[in-house]
Amino acid sequence: MVIKTKKILIKEVTDILHDIGMPAHIKGFYYVRDAIILVYQDITRLNHIINDVYALVAKRHHTSIQSVERTIRVAIEITWLRGDMDEIMCIFHNTVDGRKVRPTNKEFIALIVDYLNIEHM
């Protein structure tokens, strides 16, 4: 049952990222997806995003923590510039201004996790 639940969660997160326009062909897509799932499974990880979340993603993908942070930042930037702004605003509501600055990595991950939590109520 746990495996099925994890597969469903991976599909849900993948669908959200596709819906907002994050390109699936970039590494950051997979790093963001893994980070969202890790935080969704344990929200306290958000308090230690660099030494916990980024470190776990880096280990899983055989790269450095700095590379994970930078790659996630670029993926969010691309999504913010080229993504579906209507869908982004549907998920993020008034928490960010789509016409201005993109959210930080931590904000982006937290907002998607919050969206998932609300959907699963």
Domain spans of the chain? 2-119
User: For 33-45, how does the pLDDT look when each residue is reduced to its tens digit (9 = 90+)?
Assistant: 999 999 999 999 9
Neighbouring residues of 102: CB distance < 8 A, sequence distance ≥ 6? 76, 77, 79, 80, 96, 108
Average pLDDT estimate for 61-81: 96
Q: Kindly tell me the burial class for residue 78, based on how many C-beta atoms sit within 10 Å of its own C-beta (0-12, 13-18, 19 or more).
A: middle
For a pLDDT cut of 70, what percent of the chain falls above it? 91
Give yes or no for residue 1 having a pLDDT over 50. no
Q: Is the pTM of this model over 0.75?
A: yes
Give yes or no for residue 98 having a pLDDT over 80. no
For a pLDDT cut of 90, what percent of the chain falls above it? 74
Q: Which CATH fold topology does 2-119 show?
A: Arc Repressor Mutant, subunit A (1.10.10)
- Three-class DSSP category at 103: coil
Closest to 82 in 3D by CA, of 65, 102, 64: 102
